[in-house]
Amino acid sequence: MSKSNELLEKITAYQNLDYEEVYVDERYEFTPYMKIEELFDEFVSVVKSLHRDEATKTLVSFIKAAESNIQSRFLITCDFRQYAAIESAKSAADAFDAIENLSTIDFSPYVNTSPEKIKTTLRRMQAMIAQFIITPRTIVVYERKDPSEYSEATLTVSPSTIIEFNPMTLSEEKNWKQAFDSVKEGVTLPTQEEYKDYIEKHRIVKEYIKKEPKSKSMYRRKGFEKTYNYIKEVKQTQKMAMFVLGVVAVVVIYFLFFN
């Protein structure tokens, strides 16, 4: 197997990682914490050793994998599991600096990809990291048993608490607000309003599925989005029913006392 194929096979383990908290215990699967920056030196070495077309293909695939990895670890619109949030905070400075070092490398003698396009993608990754660190959040912490103790036939929501978490307390070696300002220009990231809305919706699902068996089952099988839409429809139906009952009550009172 060529060095390029070996690298591309290796990076599959670093992509599409799911560090978002799940609320039904039987849906929980542990996701190892993977840092794509650990492969940067190998990536640079491999790209420089390849013919131009193959080097270009390898670079494009690796940069996409790197952005996927950084997004899984740092994009703020995620209701992070506690261990992942902690690891992201601790690894942020090294990841930011590793990407900065990567952006200083001139790949133009080796690949066809525009240097500016590469730098734009790397800057977006840095902005994700910095935004994560400067955004305090809350984290749901579950009192879960070992996954082997849960039955496929049951649906359990373990007791939980919500704690405050400020990533900056675990990454004090850098001025993160200044770092964010240095890389945010021209980068599209979630706004604080989008972040708050995202977390609020997740917590609505969290509270609802504890008492509603159908939504608990739906969440396990179909995930957050379909469960949230179901809950929203149920709540709208309940509001409409209450409105109708209110109108009926007013009509009844009117006929009893004014007719």
pLDDT digits (tens, 9 = 90+) for 185-236: 999 999 999 999 999 999 999 999 988 888 999 998 888 999 999 888 876 6
Q: Answer whether residue 232 is part of any domain.
A: no
**Pair 65, 35: CB distance under 8 Å:** no
pTM of the model: 0.87
pLDDT digits (tens, 9 = 90+) for 111-167: 999 999 999 999 999 999 999 999 999 999 998 877 677 666 678 889 999 999 999
**Domain assignment of residue 78, given as a range:** 3-190
Output the pLDDT for position 239: 52
> Beta strands 137-142 and 160-165: pairing type?
antiparallel
**Pair 107, 59: CB distance under 8 Å:** yes
Query: Where would I find the beta strands (DSSP E) of 66-193?
Result: 137-142, 160-165
Question: Among 28, 35, 31, 27, which residue's Cα sits nearest to residue 18?
Answer: 31
Output the pLDDT for position 236: 62
What the block records as the tokens of 169 is 């307390």
Question: Strand, coil or helix: what is 164?
Answer: strand
* β-bridge mates for residue 138, sequence order: 164
More confident position, 79 or 241? 79
Q: Answer whether residue 167 is part of any domain.
A: yes
Q: Answer whether residue 223 is part of any domain.
A: no
- Alpha-carbon distance of 70 to 11, in angstroms, equals 13
pLDDT digits (tens, 9 = 90+) for 18-70: 999 999 988 888 999 999 999 999 999 999 999 999 999 999 999 999 999 99
Q: Answer whether residue 244 is part of any domain.
A: no
pLDDT of residue 237 exceeding 80, the answer is no
Check residue 160 and report its DSSP letter. Answer: E
Q: Answer whether residue 231 is part of any domain.
A: no
For 101, list phi and psi in degrees, rounded to 5.
-65, -40
In total, the chain counts a number of residues equal to 259
- Domains: count for the chain: 1
Q: What DSSP element (H or E) covers 162? A: strand 160-165
pLDDT digits (tens, 9 = 90+) for 68-120: 999 999 999 999 999 999 999 999 999 999 999 999 999 999 999 999 999 99
Question: Strand, coil or helix: what is 224?
Answer: helix
- Write the burial class of residue 26 (CB in 10 Å: 0-12 exposed, 13-18 middle, 19+ buried): middle
For 247, list phi and psi in degrees, rounded to 5.
-60, -45
